[in-house]
Amino acid sequence: MSIIEVNHCDPPYFNGLNDGQRQAVLTTDGPLLVLAGAGTGKTRVLTTRLAYILQTGRAYPGQVLSVTFTNKAAQEMRHRVAGLLGQSVEGMWLGTFHSLAARMLRRCADRVGLQSNFTIIDPDDQVRLMKQLMEANHIDHKKWPAKAMIGRIDRWKDQGLMPSDVKADDAGDAAEGKLHALYHSYQARLKTINACDFGDLLLHMITILKNPQNKDILEDYHRRFKYIMVDEYQDTNVAQYLWLRLLAQGFGNICCVGDDDQSIYGWRGAEVENILRFEKDFNDAKIIRLEQNYRSTNTILSAANAVIANNEGRLGKTLFSAAGDGDKIIVRGLWDGQAEARWVAEEIEQLQIKKRSLNDIAVLIRAGFQTREFEERFIQLGVSYRVIGGPRFYERMEIRDALAYFRVVTSPQDDLALERIVNTPKRGIGGGTIQKLYAHARTHNFSLYEAIRDLTQTDHIKGKARGNLMKLIDDFERWRDHLSKMHHTELASMILDESGYLEMWQMDKSPDAAGRVENLKELVSSMADFENFGEFLEHVALVMENQDNKNADQVTIMTLHGAKGLEFPVVFLPGWEEGLFPSQRSMDENGLKGLEEERRLAYVGITRAREKAYISFAANRRMYGNWINSIPSRFVDELPQDHIETETESGMYGSGRTSHWDSSGFSSKPDVNPKDRFRVMPSSTGKSFSSKERTSRVTYQAGDRVFHESFGEGRVIHSDGRKLDIEFEEHGHKRIMDSFVEKV
């Protein structure tokens, strides 16, 4: 294939490049790190640089290795380069890490005991193979789910570790202490069936390229690839890093484009250290910073700059824009999650009045459970919305299962609900038994429930299935008897507990199990707003009617992680409270590293907004069944005062508008250094802890009459430390911190 025609004048596609972008394109030789801040045009730099290298004859298409993270990004780059050059470009090594590694491995598979026509198995096949190995080793895959064990092995592969590199102790007690041995068996079995999983594609190539006996292969790739380009370098894991370093030892012309401030996938194995140590890894490396943002106003960028500046692990850059200052960021404190959802919905309605399209608006949440209150409020007000990146709250599998239990309790004739959960969790009830039950139901015009009750009194169903079905019917009868005797939230908890459904997920070791448990707790918590089971289930049915219409004008609800790479004119960022955002779990598990990744997530959230941004937090939030007394996120403290407008609900923090918040959530003078304040950290138990207690406070007990600025007079019905349950004369039951009321 011939080299692309050389043009010694600046090509027309250079028009509009700013100084930083132009410098990044023209710096073709040696190691280069392009620190591309949010919205600074990194894709244009990558495609222009690639087109420039080809057009100036610096390399043939086949001499360039260009690596992306998704097939979509690779296709877009190929299309753009062709557009810039005015002709299609064939022969480039352009693709994802896995696709390029697979292409290499097919050429030298024999070096790791495979044939060139090896099969690449998918995650389902991985789990199936692991189950077979666990059964052969008499390991209970119910206690140690095969999917979770594969997850552990995948993480080792992401770190570039073959079975021989892993110590037996590294696996702990997983798979009854046999996970290390299972890894050996798993890899051996894959070779026997001439197969690889996705992790093997890179791992095998690293093994080949590192082996001195394969020097010929490494030298061939060193001669072949004159230029290496990598997108989203901050998201690379250890294996990807090792593979790139081995290939870059040839010509040394490696260009990595990324943003250390947007490294938010540590939980997937991404190592921000890869980008932070670029200068140490590559001699004479050059760093070019892209800081001119083409997306947001300077007010939004200044806020993002101020927050991310608190991270120690970063190379540093400051975004700016030619778009002007724009509106200040609205920071709003509210009483609870419901009030927050009401406020967001009302603000959206006001934006609609001003002719703002709903498609322009996004609500970006930290945790999946937050979607529920926004979904329900939007439905009540008729605000159309879509949930991106996952099902709506009531459409999630675990929620549908729980609702099926509740439906059968209230309506035994609900065959669809009963069939859904009759063998969930496993009760030894197979398809044949279900068919027998349905045949009996049709013959006698019974419901499935009645058929079970009838047939279990005969010998038509035998063994374990019969006993478990009899117990299930007895449980439903007992739960139904409690409908009029027990509060429906307590009954819901009892059903999920006694049915074994909650325990099923608590014992599940799969990565998403913990989130499912949290969603179940959130479901029970949400029921408190309704009088009984029936009213709640009717509400859910109405919520489920709100179906997606992809062509409709709709607000987008999605997680902060899912929003990376996207932008919206208007962004709402709710739930900025300690323990929720930053996530307590992330900080508990990863310490300072976890906190800094959470702060990068805040930076990503702010920089999704083009024109307007709203940040909110709640003084009280019901999380997974517990009321949590919340304080504003430390990220709220880090927002620059000149670029935000702060508001709180009347009486919440002493006034309707405040200039700042102290660690206990009360207004404070702006000259107080946030680092000098103590912080209250919400725990998963719903209790709060602080490094020093507030002194000289009034104590309350049941029966005390109190006054609240917003809710008026009421009576304390329960005191739990500083948290008071109060029945207000005009506003009903509220849970409030003692600092917000005074004795009458």
Q: Report DSSP letters for 535-575, one per residue.
A: HHHHHHHHHHT----TTS--EEEEEHHHHTT--EEEEEE--
HSE of 434, CA atoms in CB hemisphere, 13 A? 13
Residue 11: how many other CB atoms lie within 10 Å: 16
Residue-wise pLDDT for 553-596, tens only, equals: 899 999 999 999 899 999 999 999 988 999 988 888 888 999 99
The one-letter amino acid at 735: R
Q: Can you tell me the distance from the alpha carbon of 292 to that of 322, in angstroms, rounded to the nearest whole number?
A: 8
Helices (DSSP H) in 178-324: which residue ranges? 179-192, 198-210, 215-224, 238-247, 273-276, 278-281, 298-308
Quick one: CA dihedral 304, 306, 307, 308, positive or negative? positive
The residues facing 290 across adjacent strands are 36
Residue 284: how many other CB atoms lie within 10 Å: 8
Position 97 pLDDT exceeds 90? yes
Helices (DSSP H) in 251-336: which residue ranges? 273-276, 278-281, 298-308
Residue-level pLDDT at 8: 53
Residue 672 — very low, low, confident or very high, per pLDDT cuts 50/70/90? very low
This prediction has a pTM of: 0.73
Query: Would you state the structure tokens that stand for residue 243, as one six-digit string?
Result: 């593979």
DSSP letter at 335?
A: E
Residue 550 — very low, low, confident or very high, per pLDDT cuts 50/70/90? low
Position 230 pLDDT exceeds 70? yes
Lowest mean pLDDT across 365-374, 648-657, 669-678: 669-678
Residue-wise pLDDT for 431-455, tens only, equals: 888 888 888 888 888 888 999 988 8
CA-wise closest residue to 112 among 182, 180, 181, 213? 213
Residue-wise pLDDT for 213-228, tens only, equals: 999 999 999 999 999 9
Q: Is omega for the bond preceding 640 within 30 degrees of 0, making it cis?
A: no
Residue-level pLDDT at 443: 86
**Average pLDDT value for residue range 338-351:** 94
Helices 146-158 and 238-247: angle between axes, nearest 10 degrees: 30
Query: Would you state the structure tokens that stand for residue 208, as one six-digit string?
Result: 């080949």
**Average pLDDT value for residue range 330-338:** 92
The residues facing 65 across adjacent strands are 93, 228
Helices 488-498 and 397-410: angle between axes, nearest 10 degrees: 110
The one-letter amino acid at 381: L
Query: Would you state the structure tokens that stand for residue 520, as one six-digit string?
Result: 């179940």
Residue-level pLDDT at 439: 87
Q: Can you tell me the distance from the alpha carbon of 713 to that of 705, in angstroms, rounded to the nearest whole number?
A: 7
**Average pLDDT value for residue range 326-331:** 96
Active site residues: 42-43, 231-232, 262, 608
Residue-level pLDDT at 663: 37
Residue-level pLDDT at 93: 94
Query: Would you state the structure tokens that stand for residue 527, as one six-digit string?
Result: 């029921």
Query: Would you state the structure tokens that stand for residue 634, as one six-digit string?
Result: 């430390």
Lowest mean pLDDT across 160-174, 247-261, 354-368: 160-174
Contact 196, 204 (CB under 8 A): yes
Q: Can you tell me the distance from the alpha carbon of 657 to that of 485, in angstroms, rounded to the nearest whole number?
A: 45
Q: Can you tell me the distance from the alpha carbon of 591 to that of 589, in angstroms, rounded to the nearest whole number?
A: 6
Lowest mean pLDDT across 44-53, 314-323, 435-444: 435-444
Q: CB within 8 A of 207, min separation 6: which ones?
A: 112, 162
The one-letter amino acid at 636: V
Say which residue the tokens 């932070």 belong to. Answer: 276
Q: CB within 8 A of 650, min separation 6: which ones?
A: 656, 709, 710
Residue-wise pLDDT for 595-623, tens only, equals: 999 999 999 999 999 999 999 999 988 87
Residue-level pLDDT at 676: 32
Total residues found in the chain within this entry? 744
Residue-level pLDDT at 89: 82
CA-wise closest residue to 624 among 342, 337, 340, 369? 369
Q: For every residue of 58-97, which 3-state class applies, written as one string? A: CCCHHHEEEEECCHHHHHHHHHHHHHHHCCCCCCCEEEEH
CA distances in angstroms from 519 to 278, 343, 598, 669, listed in the order given: 40, 23, 21, 39
Residue-level pLDDT at 602: 97
The one-letter amino acid at 334: L
Q: Can you tell me the distance from the alpha carbon of 290 to that of 123, in angstroms, rounded to the nearest whole number?
A: 38
